[in-house]
Structure 1
Amino acid sequence: MTTAVTTQQATVSGADTGAGDAPPPRATRRGGRGIADSAPRWQIFLPLGLYLLFTLIPFYWMLLFALRPAGSTSLVPWPATTAHFDKVWNDLGFAIFFRNSLLVGVASLIMTTVVALAGGYALARFKFRGRNGFLLALLCSQFIPGALMLVPLFEIFRNLNLVNSLWSVVIAETVFQLPLSLILISGFIRNVPGELEEAAWVDGCGRFRAFCAVVLPLLRPGLIAVGSFAFVHSWNHFLFALMFLSSQEKYTIPVGLNYTIGAESVDLGALAAGGVVAAVPVVIVFAFIQKWLIAGFSAGAVKG
């Protein structure tokens, strides 16, 4: 009986669709491949290859000058030498510059992330008068060049006796990066449903404990994205460190690189080696946080 019913249903289905109908298109059978998927591979890889070549040539040129001996004109760094790295690390004081840049970068990362997390939570969870105006002011502050902040910041740091202190650079970097970080963190928190916190309140958690137990774990990709941008910006920024630091033992790497350029000559090998020393930490940071950075850009989807 079951076989007969199945055969009858198959016959009716075949009659409805028509035996002479053409098979569905290949794109439909394969899951709906689009036009981009059917494009030739060279149309995809050729632009990407040209872009990659355009990006990597400056790095190769820097490595070439850093590794080949002084006076060599070879386009291949062989035989390679580490004399330039020894010169910038020991003779020019890049070991001290590296330590100062690391302290400034880590401190700016912590301060920016903590303040942005507290302010972003307030903007995302509380309704108060002037919130939209405050957000608009944060957005408008991104159009103000950092150079316009030098004079007022210098006067503030001079009155606080913070000139020629690494803390002046840390505070300036935090102030400069905080508006965008606040906006990003508030967006991440706004995408976390408030019902999750309310359920924790019902279970007996206070607001702070519920935030730490429920919201904070979901913000990890966003926090890593914001913190990484804060670190990289502080590591590479030249203007604040140049204006607020006056003694060589307080210089960061960008300022130290500037002083490898003489008035009448440039030691290209030392300059390239210093550039490699400055670039390596940034490359390592992005290599380790790449997946978190991509997740941070697409944060907001709550899976349950």
Structure 2
Amino acid sequence: MTMVTERPPVRRPAAVPVTRATRVSRWQIYLPLGLYLLFTLVPFYWMLVFAFRPAGSMAIVPWPITFEHFDTVWNGMGFAVFFQNSLLVGLASLVATTVVALAGGYALARYQFKGKAAFMIGMLCTQFIPGALMIIPLFEIFRTLSLTNSLWSLVIAETVFQLPLSLILISGFIRNIPYELEQAAWVDGCGRLRGFLAIVLPLLRPALVAVGSFAFIHSWNNFLFALMFLNDQEKFTVPVGLAYNLGENSVDFGALAAGGVVAALPVVIVFAFIQRYLVQGMSAGAVKG
């Protein structure tokens, strides 16, 4: 004879009463978001209007659409050279920042040494120093090293300024990876380097994407360093090239808007592809210090 045991009743959490304080209507959500999007997107809309409408037109909607401003910027103003220079500086800064931050972040996460806390505080304090205060010291250093009027000066400066935040992000992300995984790889015969490449590095994809994207976008948009360290027009980057095309007595708004569209396009593409990795890398790297 089988005994049938009666299961105890499952206690369900009491429902939270919907009160006037907790009830949120749709307009309370969509109205602030709509105002924010309106404030944010209107300048971009006017940039597109000036870029695609014919010269002399005052239409609010760019019709008929013309690409004459893009041809003027790309071929007439040498914007292709500026775009290439910015792309080289951005990719070089991305690689340098990611590699150095990866090595330094692993050391900060896995090793204990004297002065580690002071070193972390020092890195955080460097984020409060404006880049404009470092122009003269950096210029003297690059002049001594014969790196003025060179794209390598921008790569070095961007890498140095991006390293503190990148180190903190990657070290925080590595702390979230269990150390036992590496120890198990060592038991199986892997060395520290091979264990890092096989176990830790694949799990760092969101952090690497976040660090690399921030380094690329910051170097792409930086205007001050490129303005101060570069003298030859053939080595100008996109922000300096846009400012260089501003006339003393007149401004070609159509060409300037077309240059702004071309300059913003790589940033939009980067964020469109890395958005999910970016949010994951930022949140994971900020959990533990």
Aligned to 1:53: 38
Aligned to 2:160: 175
User: Offset at 1:35?
Assistant: 8.8
1:107-118 equivalent positions in 2, closer than 5 A: 107-118=92-103
Q: Which amino acid aligns with 1:299?
A: A
Would you say 1:132 and 2:117 are equivalent positions?
Answer: yes
Task: Decide which of 214, 223, 232 is 1:238's aligned counterpart.
Answer: 223
Task: Decide which of 288, 296, 299 is 2:273's aligned counterpart.
Answer: 288
Q: Which amino acid aligns with 2:174?
A: I
Deviations 1:55-76 (A, max 9, x none): 1111101000111111111100
CA contact (8 A) 1:232 1:282 kept: yes
Aligned to 2:146: 161
Sequence identity (%): 72
Q: Could you list the runs of 5+ residues in structure 2 that have no partner in the other structure?
A: none
User: Offset at 1:255?
Assistant: 0.1
Aligned to 2:60: 75
SS in 2 for 1:254: helix
CA contact (8 A) 2:97 2:163 kept: yes
Measured in 1, the distance between the counterparts of 2:209 and 2:219 equals: 15
Aligned to 1:101: 86
Task: Decide which of 102, 108, 132 is 1:147's aligned counterpart.
Answer: 132
Q: TM-score of the superposition, structure 2-length normalised?
A: 0.92
Measured in 2, the distance between the counterparts of 1:160 and 1:254 equals: 25
Q: Which amino acid aligns with 2:189?
A: G
User: Offset at 1:34?
Assistant: 10
User: Offset at 1:299?
Assistant: 2.5
1:199-210 equivalent positions in 2, closer than 5 A: 199-210=184-195
Deviations 1:178-206 (A, max 9, x none): 11111111111111111111111111110
Measured in 2, the distance between the counterparts of 1:35 and 1:214 equals: 51
CA contact (8 A) 1:192 1:300 kept: no
Q: Could you list the runs of 5+ residues in structure 1 that have no partner in the other structure?
A: 18-22
Q: Which amino acid aligns with 1:77?
A: P
Task: Decide which of 258, 268, 293 is 2:253's aligned counterpart.
Answer: 268
Relative distance call for 1:112 and 1:69 in structure 2 (3 A) is same
Measured in 1, the distance between the counterparts of 2:21 and 2:198 equals: 43
Measured in 2, the distance between the counterparts of 1:223 and 1:49 equals: 33
Q: Which amino acid aligns with 2:83?
A: F
CA contact (8 A) 2:172 2:284 kept: no
Deviations 1:23-55 (A, max 9, x none): 986x46xxx999998522222122112211211
Greater relative contact order: 1 or 2 (C-alpha under 8 angstroms, separation 6 or more)?
Answer: 2
Q: Which amino acid aligns with 1:132?
A: A
User: Offset at 1:260?
Assistant: 1.4
Measured in 2, the distance between the counterparts of 1:103 and 1:34 equals: 57
Measured in 1, the distance between the counterparts of 2:63 and 2:21 equals: 43
The structure 1 segments of at least 4 consecutive aligned residues displaced by more than 4 Å after TM superposition are 32-38
CA contact (8 A) 1:112 1:174 kept: yes
Measured in 2, the distance between the counterparts of 1:37 and 1:222 equals: 36
Aligned positions, number: 285
CA contact (8 A) 1:108 1:174 kept: yes
Relative distance call for 1:138 and 1:33 in structure 2 (3 A) is farther
Deviations 1:136-183 (A, max 9, x none): 110111111101111111111111111111101110110111111111
Aligned to 1:20: none
Deviations 1:81-119 (A, max 9, x none): 111100000000000000000000000000001001111
SS in 2 for 1:140: helix
Measured in 2, the distance between the counterparts of 1:260 and 1:111 equals: 31
Would you say 1:251 and 2:223 are equivalent positions?
Answer: no
- Higher mean C-alpha deviation, range 183-192 or range 221-230: 183-192
RMSD: 2.5
